[in-house]
């Protein structure tokens, strides 16, 4: 039995000698061995041909790894720090407003509906009631 190392060496040698025709040469030598009745030799050349195919195959992309917990914590920390600096510098006031989401729209519409249904209810009264409860 021929070792895997010898198979890979033979495949590299055929690629160096025959270039793009290395696989064709390995197939020709496999057929030659099978025609002579040497089944084991045919299997060796089949292994060499598969090794040539593997050497010529484009490299596979490495699997994407999930980020480690430390990198997630670092990203959150960086965003929080950016937000704190932007707030401190007053940059958030100068930024363009974010687009309204469905939740924002639902909250706004509910507030408008309550203002129409309860016109006597003043926002200052609500604010005073909330602050009085929080002091208790």
pLDDT in tens, 74-92: 777 787 887 777 776 666 5
Instruction: Let me know whether 92 and 127 are in one domain.
Output: no
Q: Answer for the pair 35, 19: CB distance below 8 angstroms, yes or no.
A: no
Task: Give 18's contacts (C-beta < 8 A, 6+ positions apart).
Answer: 24, 25
Task: Label residue 50 by pLDDT band (50, 70, 90).
Answer: very high
Q: How many helices (H) and strands (E) does the chain have?
A: 7, 0
Question: How far is the C-alpha of 47 from the C-alpha of 41, rounded, in Å?
Answer: 10
Instruction: Let me know whether 88 and 108 are in one domain.
Output: no
Question: How far is the C-alpha of 134 from the C-alpha of 136, rounded, in Å?
Answer: 6
pTM above 0.75, yes or no: no
Range 39-57 average pLDDT: 92
pLDDT value, residue 76: 76
Alpha-carbon Rg for the chain, nearest whole angstrom, is: 37
User: Into how many domains does the chain fold?
Assistant: 3
Instruction: Let me know whether 112 and 89 are in one domain.
Output: no
On whether residue 61 sits in a domain, the answer given is no
pLDDT value, residue 93: 60
What percentage of the chain reaches a pLDDT higher than 90? Answer: 34
On whether residue 62 sits in a domain, the answer given is no
On whether residue 18 sits in a domain, the answer given is yes
Model confidence over 60-78: pLDDT tens digits?
776 666 656 667 677 777 8
Question: How far is the C-alpha of 75 from the C-alpha of 66, rounded, in Å?
Answer: 14
Range 36-62 average pLDDT: 89
- Supply the range of the domain harboring residue 16: 4-56
pLDDT at 28 over 90: yes
């Amino acid at each position: 039995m021929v070792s895997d190392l010898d198979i890979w060496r033979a495949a590299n040698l055929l690629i160096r000698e025959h270039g793009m025709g290395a696989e064709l040469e390995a197939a020709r030598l496999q057929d030659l061995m099978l025609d002579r009745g040497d089944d084991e030799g045919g299997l060796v050349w089949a292994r060499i041909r598969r090794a040539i195919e593997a050497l010529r195959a484009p490299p596979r992309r490495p699997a994407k790894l999930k980020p480690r917990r430390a990198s997630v914590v670092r990203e959150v920390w960086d965003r929080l720090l950016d937000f704190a600096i932007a707030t401190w510098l007053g940059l958030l006031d100068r930024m363009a407003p974010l687009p309204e989401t469905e939740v924002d729209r639902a909250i706004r519409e509910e507030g408008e509906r309550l203002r129409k249904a309860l016109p006597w209810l003043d926002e200052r009264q609500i604010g005073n009631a909330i602050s009085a409860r929080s002091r208790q």
